[in-house]
């Protein structure tokens, strides 16, 4: 593969000298193949999360929207880096999954039964809610990061927010156009990506895109196991667009990803050594293989109403092996291989937005099933034996939803939205608990009505204010039994968000701002604590009293001639309601009722403590300047800085056990030379080489990526 990558990279460099660039008119302004103009201006930011294209500056939602070009300029190549470009977002990656939280709400427990609270959509369908998180960003049109519960249009699993990732569509009558890019970097990294638009006829076009990386390991592992040998990935996407009439559009996109990440090396949280220098004696493995097919059909009636169908099918296998104690001393091991299949269907009926009243009606169904093959999911504990789990965990959800907008006098608009959901989760599993056989056939059902009421006021073309109340919910799940009969399910989470905001344009359209304040009542937070009767086992339940989370957020974008700047700020406070719990990492004695205690050294009163993964401060800023050369070329230096303050990985907040996740301060920079349709960029990420903990899980610390630098060349055609 390395030889292939080298050949492709050399081909890219040669194309930069010999290929003839064609001038194309591309309908998608977000397409990265579109060359930058010498004079930068602020363009309209489009959001599509509410099922129609709207201007972000006049939409009552707190969001960060980035084009594919800006993602690359900011050093964002996958979901991990989103925390350094958006306020109030944290991403804690422990390898086979992530704790993605927005405003302190998202995912805090590392299991399949606890669904995410920040759901990611890819080209219109909700993706895998836990696994397969390393999917790369390539040939992207835009990424929309929505903050706060999205109960109307997303429904469950969006209590914290949602992320919409949209790739570039084929362009009919757009000619043959696209780009190819290669890069080289430290750690012997070689990579290539590209896309081409193929105009087949006046009614049909296709787009093919690919992405691949080959890189050595970040880690120096001393044996006896030294098997982490870096990253080998390959991804491909085929999109086809058919528009036989002006009323009908059929878009079909298919993705496949092969991600061999070798392993996720980690050592104990309080280890004194550099986190990239570790010892291990257990096998490591991390391999994801998954595909996605999305079919979107739009039909527009004569009165402008649109009937939309979005069908999705996704299937993948994730395989993981880890040294569970993170050293070469013990013999603790963990491994799993999990198959996941999702199919979904959404229907929308969307009114025209030209009248005084606009509306959307929708229906949704999803089936998501995990399969744990025999012998593939295991834990080995020295002196205790082997724990194994096998079986299936199917989940289903069905929903109906709608929203209506009514234009009132004097620039006011009233929006009312609601969604009713029903969800089920079922365990058909067998557990061999260190020699004790346990069978579980158990089902739990959940229902919820969520939505949003918003009052918007367009004061003038440059000022828009809004106030709303929105709710969201995340379904509950089933605990795995530990030999004491079938345990109780844990309940659904619910959140109520009160928010006000002001969006404005200044200085003749060269500066725009977003400012908002929010207050959340977060009920039934799902958390794993010590099992009441056997504290050495984790038992997931709900915080019996609501957590309060409130904060302020601000964003700005500005262009002044050749200089441009973008920034975001998030300030947040959180406080747990009264809650007693047992830390499963310490011995426990006596009763501990979550609502009443009593408080004791092992039954801890957590009232007033911070919510997990809720940093007080997040901040990001990016600046660039376009130097125009006499030859017509441009040179553009850019610098980006992202800060995420300290956060807690558990509610017990025990620093001696490594519960505090320290602050992250990431500096990225690049300098890009544009010559006609070729851009050559010298780039660096994490320039200060901060060795920061990227996540804490099972007593191990998982480190974020170190300093990386390299050279990439992009040729547009």
Mind listing the pLDDT tens digit for each residue in 287-314?
999 999 999 999 999 999 999 999 999 9
Whether 26 has a pLDDT exceeding 90, the answer reads no
State the average pLDDT for the chain: 90
Q: How many CB atoms lie within 10 A of CB 365?
A: 13
> DSSP state, 28?
-
Distance CA 536, CA 532 (A): 9
Is the predicted pLDDT of residue 532 greater than 60, yes or no? no
In 149-282, DSSP assigns E strands to 161-167, 177-185, 189-199, 204-215, 220-222, 231-245, 248-260, 267-268, 277-279
Using only C-alpha atoms, what is the Rg of the chain?
A: 25
Q: What confidence category does residue 318 fall into, taking pLDDT thresholds of 50, 70 and 90?
A: very high
Q: 48-52, 66-70, 91-95: lowest mean pLDDT where?
A: 91-95
Which among 672, 667, 671 has a CA at the least distance from the CA of 706?
A: 667
pLDDT category of residue 25 using cuts at 50, 70 and 90:
very low
- 537 confidence band (pLDDT: 50, 70, 90): low
Among 47-51, 308-312, 638-642, the range scoring the smallest mean pLDDT is 47-51
pLDDT attached to residue 1:
40
Taking residue 602's Cβ as centre, other Cβ atoms within 10 Å add up to: 16
pLDDT tens digit sequence for 206-235: 999 999 999 999 999 988 887 788 999 999
**Which of 555, 569, 692, 679 is CA-nearest to residue 626?**
679
Give the domains, in start order, of the chain with CATH numbers. Answer: 2-716 (2.40.170.20)
Q: Are 540 and 109 in contact (CB under 8 A)?
A: yes
Which two three-digit tokens encode residue 266? 């980690």
| CB-facing half-sphere around the CA of 165: CA atoms within 13 A | 19
DSSP assignment of 542-555 equals: E-SSPEEEEEEEEE
% of the chain surpassing 90 pLDDT: 73
Reply yes or no on whether the pLDDT at 10 is more than 50.
Answer: no
Q: Per-residue pLDDT for 85 more than 60?
A: yes
Structure tokens belonging to residue 18: 């010999």
| 327-382: pLDDT as tens digits | 988 889 999 999 999 999 999 999 998 889 999 999 999 999 999 999 999 999 88
Weakest-pLDDT range from 29-38, 241-250, 499-508, 611-620: 29-38
Q: Note the pLDDT tens digit of each residue in 418-462.
A: 999 999 999 999 999 999 999 999 999 999 999 999 999 999 999
* pLDDT over threshold 80, residue 660: yes
pLDDT of residue 607: 94
Alpha-carbon gap, residue 696 to 346, rounded angstroms: 36
- With cut-offs at 50, 70 and 90, classify the pLDDT of residue 34: very low
534: pLDDT confidence band, cut at 50, 70 and 90? low
Q: What is the pLDDT of residues 144-175, one digit of tens each?
A: 999 999 999 998 889 999 999 999 999 999 99
Give the model's confidence band at 94: pLDDT under 50 very low, under 70 low, under 90 confident, else very high.
confident
For residue 199, what pLDDT is reported?
A: 94
Answer yes or no: is pLDDT of 8 > 70.
no
Residue 687 has pLDDT above 70, yes or no: yes
> Residue range 48-69: average pLDDT?
92
């Amino acid at each position: 593969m390395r030889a292939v990558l080298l050949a492709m990279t050399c081909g890219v460099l040669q194309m930069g000298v010999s290929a003839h660039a064609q001038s194309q008119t591309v309908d998608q302004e977000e397409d990265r193949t579109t060359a930058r103009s010498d004079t930068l201006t602020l363009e309209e930011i489009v959001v599509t999360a509410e099922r129609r294209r709207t201007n972000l500056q006049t939409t009552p939602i707190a969001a960060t929207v980035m084009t594919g070009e800006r993602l690359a300029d900011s050093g964002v190549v996958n979901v991990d880096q989103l925390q350094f470009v958006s306020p109030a977002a944290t991403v804690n990656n422990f390898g086979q999954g992530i704790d993605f939280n927005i405003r302190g709400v998202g995912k805090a427990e590392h299991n399949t039964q606890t669904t995410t609270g920040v759901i990611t959509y890819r080209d219109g369908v909700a993706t895998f809610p836990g696994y397969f998180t390393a999917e790369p960003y390539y040939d992207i049109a835009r990424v929309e990061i929505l903050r706060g519960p999205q109960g109307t249009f997303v429904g469950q699993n969006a209590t914290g927010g949602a992320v919409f990732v949209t790739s570039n569509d084929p362009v009919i009558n757009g000619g043959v156009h696209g780009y190819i890019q290669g890069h080289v970097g430290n750690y012997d990294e070689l990579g290539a990506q590209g896309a081409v638009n193929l105009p087949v006829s006046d009614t049909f076009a296709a787009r093919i895109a690919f992405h691949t990386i080959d890189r050595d390991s970040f880690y120096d592992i001393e044996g006896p196991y030294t098997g982490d040998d870096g990253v080998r990935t390959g991804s491909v996407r085929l999109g086809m667009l058919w528009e036989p009439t002006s009323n009908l559009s059929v878009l079909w996109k298919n993705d496949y990803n092969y991600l061999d990440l070798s392993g996720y090396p980690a050592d104990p949280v309080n280890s004194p050594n550099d986190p990239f220098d570790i010892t291990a004696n257990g096998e490591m493995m991390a391999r994801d293989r998954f595909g996605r097919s999305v079919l979107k059909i739009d039909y527009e009636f004569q009165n402008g109403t649109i009937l939309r169908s979005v069908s999705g099918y996704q299937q993948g296998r994730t395989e993981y092996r880890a040294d569970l104690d993170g050293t070469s001393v013990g013999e603790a091991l963990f491994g799993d291989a999990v198959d996941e299949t999702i199919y979904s269907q959404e229907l929308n009926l969307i009114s025209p937005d030209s009248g005084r009243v606009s509306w959307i009606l929708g229906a949704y169904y999803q089936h998501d099933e995990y399969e744990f093959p025999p012998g593939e999911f295991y834990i080995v504990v020295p002196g205790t034996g082997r724990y194994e789990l096998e079986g299936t965990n199917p989940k289903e959800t069905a929903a109906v939803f709608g929203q209506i907008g009514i234009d009132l006098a004097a620039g006011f608009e009233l929006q009312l939205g609601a969604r009713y959901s029903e969800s089920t989760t079922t365990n058909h599993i067998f557990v061999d608990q260190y020699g004790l056989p346990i069978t579980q056939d158990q089902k739990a059902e959940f229902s919820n009505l969520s939505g949003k009421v918003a009052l918007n006021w367009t004061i003038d073309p440059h000022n828009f204010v809004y106030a709303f109340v929105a709710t969201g919910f995340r379904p509950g799940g089933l605990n795995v039994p530990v030999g004491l009969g079938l345990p109780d399910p844990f309940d659904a989470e619910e959140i109520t968000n009160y928010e006000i905001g002001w969006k404005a344009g200044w200085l003749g359209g060269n500066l725009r701002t977003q400012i908002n304040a929010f207050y959340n009542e977060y009920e039934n937070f799902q958390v794993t604590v010590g099992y009441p009767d056997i504290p050495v086992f984790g038992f997931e339940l709900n915080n019996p009293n609501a957590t309060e989370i409130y904060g302020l957020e601000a964003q700005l974008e500005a262009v002044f001639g050749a200089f441009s700047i973008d920034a975001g700020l998030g300030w947040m406070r959180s406080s747990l309601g009264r809650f007693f719990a047992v830390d499963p990492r310490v011995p426990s004695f006596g009763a501990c009722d979550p609502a009443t205690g009593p408080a004791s050294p092992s039954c801890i009163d957590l009232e007033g403590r911070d919510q997990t993964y809720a940093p007080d401060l997040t901040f990001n800023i990016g600046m660039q300047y376009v130097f125009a050369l006499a030859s017509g070329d441009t040179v553009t230096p850019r610098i980006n800085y992202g800060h995420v303050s300290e956060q807690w990985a558990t509610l017990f907040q025990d620093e001696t056990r490594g519960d505090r996740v320290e602050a992250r301060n990431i500096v990225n920079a690049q300098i890009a030379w544009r010559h006609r349709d070729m851009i050559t960029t010298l780039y660096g990420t994490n320039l200060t080489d901060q060795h920061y903990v990227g996540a804490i899980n099972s007593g191990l610390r998982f480190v974020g990526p170190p300093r990386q630098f390299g050279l990439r060349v992009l040729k547009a055609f």
